[in-house]
Structure formats: C-alpha cells, structure tokens
Copies of this chain bind each other. A is one copy, B any other.
Amino acid sequence: MVKQERAARTRQALIQAAAAVFAEEGFVTASLSTISGRAGVSNGALHFHFANKSMLADAVEAAATEAVRRITEAAQARQGEPLQAVVDATHALMNGLAHDIVLRGGFELAGDNARRGESSLRAHWQRWVEDTLRRAQDEGALAEGVSWADGARIIVAATAGFEVLGGDDASWLSRQNITRFWEVILPSLAGRRDLHGLVSAGSKQQVNGSEQ
C-alpha cells in the first residue's frame, strides 16, 4: 500500500515535470533525462511508468483534459444560468493556464506541431462552450439575432487567443483582462432580460471557489 502510494506520487511528479518541460521547450526538444531530473527520480523510474516520451505527453494531455472537465463541470454545477457558467469557466480556465503547469503544458502540447491532431483538449473546451450556448439559446438568454454559434465563435476564438498570447505574457490571463473582455462583449451576446444579472468578473461562488 505504501509502495502503491509512492508509485502514484512518482507518476504525478513525472507528469508535472513533463508538463513544465514540454511547456518550456516543446515536445521534440524535451528530453526524458531533463524530465526525470526535474521530477527528482531516476531514468529507470521514469521508464517504469512511461515507455516513451509520447506516452508521457499523452498522460499530460489526459491530466489537462481532466482539469478542463473539472472546470466546466464545476461552473455548470454552480450556475443554472448558461451564459454565467461560460463566464465563470473562462475565468477558471485562464486562471488555470496561469497557475496550473499541467493545464499549461497540456495546451502547449495541443498547439505543438509534433503532436498535432493527437490532442482533444481544445475540442473538448469548444464542445462545452457550444453545448452551453445552445442551452442559453434554448432558454432565450441570447441577444436578438445572435445564435449559439455566433457566441461560441467569439468565445472559443478569444479564449484560444488568450491562451496562446498568455504563454508569452501572463497579463493576458489576468482576471482583470478577462473581466473587461466580458464587460465589453456581453451586451452583444446576452438578451436584455438577462444582461443585468450577469457578472463579468465571475459569479460569487466562483470568486470564493477554486478561482482565488
């Protein structure tokens, strides 16, 4: 049991170290010995857990996908209002990209030429935004003449932009930046009935939750 715990901890340390090295150097340049060194384990221990670099990258992407799933599920569970759930989830996702190295590493891999097409991370996020905006449309919460696809296009493109630009300059990911983004575009997206109830900075539960 102690041995299993230690193995799980080692595996976790390797995923964290790999995410950091992939984020800094890219998939091709990252070396397994840099990763094992950063994790504080031997090369043998690394190979016990991961047969090769691709499997390590798969594990980072799986962990990042799981983090995105947790973010979107939490936003949805807290918020009956679909548009507010999307606002909250973008805040949590950008905060995660700034502070959770596994999330950052996963998205860097998703954009890495060497791994292209192997990641479903951005697709996972896009699908959730689309589904949630479809619900908003069904509930009549969108502005007149704006479809769920219109809203999803702007939100998915802008969040992909924040993610990429935030890799070089973290201020793109700041709460202030994301809040101002929402303040400006919500009047275009939300129906008048719902607009005044929406909180661009994220709803209260969000502020007291994992976000802060």
Contacts and interface: CB of A to CB of B under 8 A. Distances in A.
Interface of A: 23-26, 28-29, 108, 111-114, 116-117, 122, 146, 150-151, 153-154, 156-162, 164-165, 167-168, 172, 177, 180-181, 183-185, 187-189
A160 B165 contact: yes
Copies of this chain held together in the complex:
2
A187 B26 CA distance: 40
B146 A184 contact: yes
Nearest to A28: B28
Contact of A29 (B114, B158, B162): B114
Contacts of A24: 113
Contact of A26 (B28, B177, B184): B28
A157 B168 contact: no
A60 to B, nearest CB: 14
A108 B156 CA distance: 19
A165 B122 contact: yes
Contacts of A154: 158, 181, 184-185
Contacts of A114: 25-26, 28-29
A118 to B, nearest CB: 11
Given A156-B161, A157-B158, A161-B158, A112 B184 contact: no
Nearest to A24: B113
A168 B117 contact: yes
A17 B162 CA distance: 30
B111 A150 contact: no
